[in-house]
Amino acid sequence: MTASDASPVHAGGPRDTRDVAEAVRDVAATGTALRIRAGGTWLDAGRPVASGLRTLDVGALRGIVEYVPGDLTLTARASTTLAEIDEATRPHAQWLPLDPFAAPGATLGATLATASWGPLSGSIGLPRDLTIGLEFVDGRGIVVRGGGRVVKNVAGFDLVRLTVGAWGTLGIITEVSVRLRARPPRECTLALDAPRAPEALAPLLRTLRDAPLTPLALELVDGALARRLDVGNDATILVRLAGNDAALAAQRTLVESLGLTHEVPTECWGRLQGSLPPGAYTIRASRRPSELAALWHDLGRCVAVIPGAYRQATLERGIVRLIVPADAALALHGQLAGLAERWHLIGEQLPAESWGLLPGEAFARLASNVRQAFDPRHLLNPGLVTPASTA
């Protein structure tokens, strides 16, 4: 990824939405393109940005603006970290169940801008499902608001859903309102041995999918990752259960009836969330849920020929992630074209030369058309969603 110019657009960084709007209007007048950053967690994700960008650091837009425990709603500035929100809501037995695979310090705005999710997404939903309102500054320096601070206010809700996952190319998110959930009274995590053969794994996955279970998360990790998380020595299905004593006991009995099972510390989910090696490349592969075992096995063949690679799957979403060390870029590149022919692939972090192997022209055209309304000069993060040559 090409580094941005060292000089910031706004000395010291903008302190509020008005500062952000002024900074964007200033650069819009000269046609200067911007690279937006806050915590810096996802700067290596997405397509390579165009060269010659100046940086607009919005890291000072931080802090909880409003928290109403009785309504299960919270409004915070975009650069507030997920850890800060968790600390504020924990005393009220509430939480914001966003658990992206990211380094510590992930911010609320970047999590929504990239639509990053983790194992909890299968039971609780994606970032856009938890977002009820937001404020952003578009590429013309205009402040735009969609949704509201209460769940029943749905004015502009489609605009909210459109902005989440746009990678800051429609506008710079400055404030977000989210819905919270009651924190489970109790929870436990069971590690269930996963069969190696796809013909044995497929019926087990089908049983888990159809069983009367309400897990918070179902994650399949291969042997390399299981050992790193200290949950097993071979492929393992992590089942995160929550509820009162009776609900936990009933669900635990059902899971234990499916195979060799042992309890592991719930801290393994935090280790999984931060398990991505620095500079690693990642892709997501998917198709029909019934084909997940075959997909898992196919990516296993890639792992066998890419040094240091490993897999994890979010079962309730039917998605397998392939994680590859930074020094194995060439080996990954050699596998991508074949994988793209067999599965639906989405790149998270890839070598610059590998993005062209992934299909996405139809999406690129759609993204470009939508962007025309909010950032007609393509000044915000150019190249990050659509190739830089067409941005």
pLDDT tens by residue, 204-224: 999 999 999 999 999 999 999
The CATH number of whichever domain residue 237 belongs to comes to 3.30.70.3450
| Number of separate domains in the chain | 3
161 and 14, same domain (yes or no): yes
Strands (DSSP E) found in 125-204: 131-138, 143-147, 171-179, 181-182, 186-193
As a whole number of angstroms, the distance between CA 338 and CA 331 comes to 13
The CATH number of whichever domain residue 350 belongs to comes to 3.30.70
48 and 142, same domain (yes or no): yes
Question: According to the model, what pLDDT value does residue 61 have?
Answer: 96
22 and 131, same domain (yes or no): yes
224 and 297, same domain (yes or no): no
49 and 2, same domain (yes or no): yes
Question: According to the model, what pLDDT value does residue 3 have?
Answer: 42
96 and 23, same domain (yes or no): yes
194 and 161, same domain (yes or no): no
Question: According to the model, what pLDDT value does residue 278 have?
Answer: 87
Determine contact, residues 184/217, Cβ cutoff 8 Å. Answer: no
Question: According to the model, what pLDDT value does residue 4 have?
Answer: 44
Question: According to the model, what pLDDT value does residue 148 have?
Answer: 75
14 and 135, same domain (yes or no): yes
Q: What is the pTM of this model?
A: 0.90
CA atoms within 13 A on the CB side of 254: 18
311 and 190, same domain (yes or no): no
As a whole number of angstroms, the distance between CA 185 and CA 28 comes to 50
39 and 162, same domain (yes or no): yes
Question: According to the model, what pLDDT value does residue 1 have?
Answer: 36
The CATH number of whichever domain residue 131 belongs to comes to 3.30.465.10
Residue from 52, 65, 59, 80 nearest 12 by CA: 59
229 and 256, same domain (yes or no): yes
Residue carrying structure tokens 């967690």: 41
204 and 221, same domain (yes or no): yes
Question: According to the model, what pLDDT value does residue 366 have?
Answer: 61
Question: According to the model, what pLDDT value does residue 363 have?
Answer: 58
Name the stretches of the chain with pLDDT < 50.
1-6, 388-391
Question: According to the model, what pLDDT value does residue 6 have?
Answer: 47
- Any idea what DSSP says for residue 383? T
Among the candidates 245, 273, 301, a domain finishes at: 273
Q: Which domain holds residue 307?
A: 281-357
Question: According to the model, what pLDDT value does residue 220 have?
Answer: 98
Question: According to the model, what pLDDT value does residue 9 have?
Answer: 63
